[in-house]
């Protein structure tokens, strides 16, 4: 009898606590991909084939308060085959005033900037052999770092935001980002204009980067025109890019891009790339992507005939990727 009474009391207490507490909405999603990449390069150490993996698990919690606020928390676990970590972990508070994000997350430039590679499912990260040139027109924003971000409430088709990263020291690299987008509809064609800027402080000279782009969607056709720039220590880089994609009725998407990046402070340094891509939906949640990139990187002191010997490179990268989402 005593045991039954204790059990009943415990159940009643748990029920009372549950009834008085808010119950959060929880969602879990995941994505994983495996790719085979073949690279033809003028640099012997880069020429060859490789396997790559990339996996993510997303946990999202949402709770609404009696006062009308929405409290959220998200955590993202990441693994690339050699390293596993919690890549993002942040809290958000949203309401009529907009949305505040606190924690490890991307700067607002990631939400508002528009770059040519946004239409490409599998962007190659291995084509350039130098960090002194840009391989796309996106801004050099701070990602997955402890920062605070604010997003204005949407006003018609206009959205905007700002974020600040504090390095924690007087001589550190604090970063501030701003971004905005405006979307309009014109006779069934959706036009989005986006811009983003980021300033990363430094002891000698700050690094400033900007992006501006326009995305046009008409039926199954999408097109992006974009421009980017970066100024810093011994850097004055401008990048122009364009891309287009077409969704076919059979589950296949065709895409292509081209871009060129030049550094005016390093005479002769430039990077140019173009590529084509085919995405095919094998089944719900399973996609195959074939990407072919052709690239050329010329260092400031090199010529076409001696590119590899003087820090440059040129070649072709072909990759086949299988992607699964859950």
Residue 149 has pLDDT above 70, yes or no: yes
Is 315 inside a domain boundary? yes
Rounded to an integer, what distance in angstroms lies between the CA atom of residue 204 and that of residue 234?
A: 11
Q: Using 50, 70 and 90 to split pLDDT, how confident is the model at 126?
A: low
Cα 291-105-216 angle, rounded to 5 deg: 45
Rounded to an integer, what distance in angstroms lies between the CA atom of residue 246 and that of residue 253?
A: 6
Q: Of 93-97, 120-124, 208-212, which range is least confident?
A: 120-124
**pLDDT score, position 13:** 40
Q: Average model confidence (pLDDT) for the chain?
A: 85
Residue 224 has pLDDT above 50, yes or no: yes
Is 114 inside a domain boundary? yes
Is 9 inside a domain boundary? no
Is 14 inside a domain boundary? no
Q: What is the pLDDT of residues 71-117, one digit of tens each?
A: 999 999 888 777 678 888 999 999 999 999 999 888 888 899 999 99
**pLDDT score, position 298:** 85
Is 10 inside a domain boundary? no
Are residues 215 and 195 in contact, defined by beta-carbon separation less than 8 angstroms?
Answer: no
Residue 9 has pLDDT above 50, yes or no: no
Q: Using 50, 70 and 90 to split pLDDT, how confident is the model at 141?
A: low
Q: Using 50, 70 and 90 to split pLDDT, how confident is the model at 143?
A: low
The structural domain count of the chain equals 1
**pLDDT score, position 267:** 76
Range of the domain at 274: 26-325
Is 132 inside a domain boundary? yes
Rounded to an integer, what distance in angstroms lies between the CA atom of residue 204 and that of residue 137?
A: 25
Buried b / exposed e along 264-277 (16+ C-beta atoms within 10 A): eebeebbbebbbeb
Distances (CA, A) of 238 to 75, 139, 170, 227, 312: 35, 11, 30, 8, 18
**pLDDT score, position 10:** 41
Q: What is the pLDDT of residues 17-64, one digit of tens each?
A: 344 445 679 999 999 999 999 999 888 888 899 998 999 999 999 999
Rounded to an integer, what distance in angstroms lies between the CA atom of residue 320 and that of residue 244?
A: 20
Residue 130 has pLDDT above 70, yes or no: no
**pLDDT score, position 310:** 61
**pLDDT score, position 109:** 85
- CATH code (residue 134): 2.40.160.10
Rounded to an integer, what distance in angstroms lies between the CA atom of residue 121 and that of residue 252?
A: 12
Are residues 104 and 194 in contact, defined by beta-carbon separation less than 8 angstroms?
Answer: no
- Eight-state DSSP code of residue 1: -
Rounded to an integer, what distance in angstroms lies between the CA atom of residue 278 and that of residue 253?
A: 6
**pLDDT score, position 168:** 74
**pLDDT score, position 129:** 60
**pLDDT score, position 18:** 42
Q: What is the pLDDT of residues 272-320, one digit of tens each?
A: 999 999 999 999 999 999 999 999 988 876 555 555 556 788 889 999 9
Is 33 inside a domain boundary? yes
**pLDDT score, position 203:** 75
% of the chain with per-residue pLDDT over 90: 54
**pLDDT score, position 325:** 95
Task: Residue 195: count other Cβ atoms within 10 Å of its Cβ.
Answer: 21
Q: Using 50, 70 and 90 to split pLDDT, how confident is the model at 180?
A: very high
**pLDDT score, position 128:** 56
**pLDDT score, position 164:** 92
Is 191 inside a domain boundary? yes
Are residues 295 and 314 in contact, defined by beta-carbon separation less than 8 angstroms?
Answer: yes
Taking Cα atoms as reference points, which of 95, 89, 90 lies closest to residue 64? 95
Task: Give me the mean pLDDT over the 179-185 stretch.
Answer: 96
Q: Using 50, 70 and 90 to split pLDDT, how confident is the model at 16?
A: very low
């Amino acid at each position: 009898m005593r045991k039954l009474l204790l059990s009943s009391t415990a159940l009643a207490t748990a029920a009372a606590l549950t009834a008085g507490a808010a119950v959060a909405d929880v969602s879990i999603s995941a994505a994983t991909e495996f790719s085979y990449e073949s690279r033809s390069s003028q640099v012997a150490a880069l020429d060859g084939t490789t396997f790559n993996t990339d996996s993510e698990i997303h946990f999202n919690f949402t709770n609404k308060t009696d006062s009308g606020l929405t409290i959220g928390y998200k955590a993202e676990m990441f693994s690339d085959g050699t390293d596993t970590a919690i890549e993002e972990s942040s809290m958000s508070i949203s309401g009529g005033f907009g949305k505040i994000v606190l924690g490890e997350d991307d700067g607002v430039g990631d939400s508002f900037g528009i770059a040519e590679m946004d239409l490409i499912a599998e962007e190659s990260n291995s084509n350039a052999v130098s960090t002194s040139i840009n391989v796309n027109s996106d801004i050099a924003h701070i990602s997955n770092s402890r920062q605070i971000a604010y997003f204005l409430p949407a006003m018609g088709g206009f959205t905007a935001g700002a974020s600040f990263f504090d390095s924690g020291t007087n001589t550190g690299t604090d970063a501030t980002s701003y971004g905005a987008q405006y979307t309009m509809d014109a006779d069934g064609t959706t036009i989005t204009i986006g811009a983003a800027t980021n300033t990363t402080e430094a002891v000698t000279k700050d690094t400033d980067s900007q992006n501006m782009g326009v995305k046009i969607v008409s039926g199954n056709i999408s097109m992006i025109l974009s421009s980017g720039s970066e100024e810093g220590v011994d850097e004055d880089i401008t990048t122009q890019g364009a891309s287009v994609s077409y969704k076919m009725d059979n589950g296949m998407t065709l895409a292509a891009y081209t871009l060129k990046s030049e550094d005016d402070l390093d005479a002769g340094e430039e990077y140019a790339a173009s590529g084509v891509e085919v995405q095919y939906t094998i089944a719900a949640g399973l996609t195959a992507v074939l990407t072919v990139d052709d690239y050329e990187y010329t260092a400031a002191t090199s010529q076409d005939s001696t590119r590899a010997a003087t820090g440059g490179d040129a070649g072709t990268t072909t990759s086949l990727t299988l992607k699964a989402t859950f």
